Amino acid sequence: MSSTITPQILLRAYAAGIFPMAEDAGDNSLYWVEPEERGILPLSGFHVPRSLAKKVRKQDFEIRVDSAFEQVMQLCSTETDTRPSTWINSRIITLYKQLHKMGCGHSVECWQDDELVGGLYGIRIGAAFFGESMFSLKTDASKVALVHLVARLKAGGFALLDAQFTNDHLTQFGLATVSRNEYHLMLEPALGVDAEFDAFERDGEPEEVLRLAKSD
């Protein structure tokens, strides 16, 4: 991928159904990815497992939004016993920090005793949100962040939550697999609709979060 890549080029790529990855965190090169099959988390029909709903109600975590975007990315890029390598390198972090400053990159974070213990980040264009990565330092922290993200997207009028790939971790939430052509039929109208990421300001009210996340 060209060394002259800019945040504007990145946004055009997302709008065309393409996103960048690195071979691993230590490799500075990037390559474009356009999966033949795409993982989509349904905003209508999103499933919250009973045990996770109980976790949301317990409010073990303080939810913050966009307070530590770079730190979320850094933790998503960190190798762990269960994740021996990641595709997020320093170049990706630099580019996405710029998207965050432009208002196109967002993080949903779980904090405990003033420590960041879980979260996720992604990119938004119009009414489409492209989920990038998530991490957990405490049990279920990233899943709680996802429930809060879905509530926020639904409150703000979003039409598409792109998970990019399919995996077992996300199937419990009702993940759907669509073809490349089907994905573009979903993406194109979402790009032309205005949505508001900050419309939801009730992250401290778990029943409202769950009501929104589970509503059809």
Residue-averaged pLDDT of the chain: 93
**Average confidence (pLDDT) per 10 residues, the chain, 216 residues:** 79 96 82 94 95 97 98 90 76 96 98 98 98 96 98 98 91 96 97 96 96 92
Whether residue 26 is contained in a domain is answered as: no
Whether residue 126 is contained in a domain is answered as: yes
Predicted TM-score (pTM) of the model is 0.94
**Which tens digits make up the pLDDT trace of 94-148?**
999 999 999 999 999 999 999 999 999 999 999 999 999 999 999 999 999 999 9
Whether residue 158 is contained in a domain is answered as: yes
Whether residue 16 is contained in a domain is answered as: no
159 token code pair: 């039409």
Q: Which segments within the chain are labelled E, that is strand?
A: 19-21, 31-33, 37-40, 62-65, 105-112, 115-125, 128-136, 160-164, 176-179
Whether residue 168 is contained in a domain is answered as: yes
Structural domain of residue 206, as residue ranges?
A: 37-84+104-214
Cα 216 to Cα 213: distance, rounded to the nearest angstrom: 9
Count of other CB atoms within 10 angstroms of residue 94: 12
Whether residue 146 is contained in a domain is answered as: yes
Whether residue 6 is contained in a domain is answered as: no
Cα 14 to Cα 20: distance, rounded to the nearest angstrom: 9
Check residue 87 and give its pLDDT: 83
Task: Please count the structural domains in the chain.
Answer: 1
CATH (domain of 182): 3.40.630.70
Whether residue 141 is contained in a domain is answered as: yes
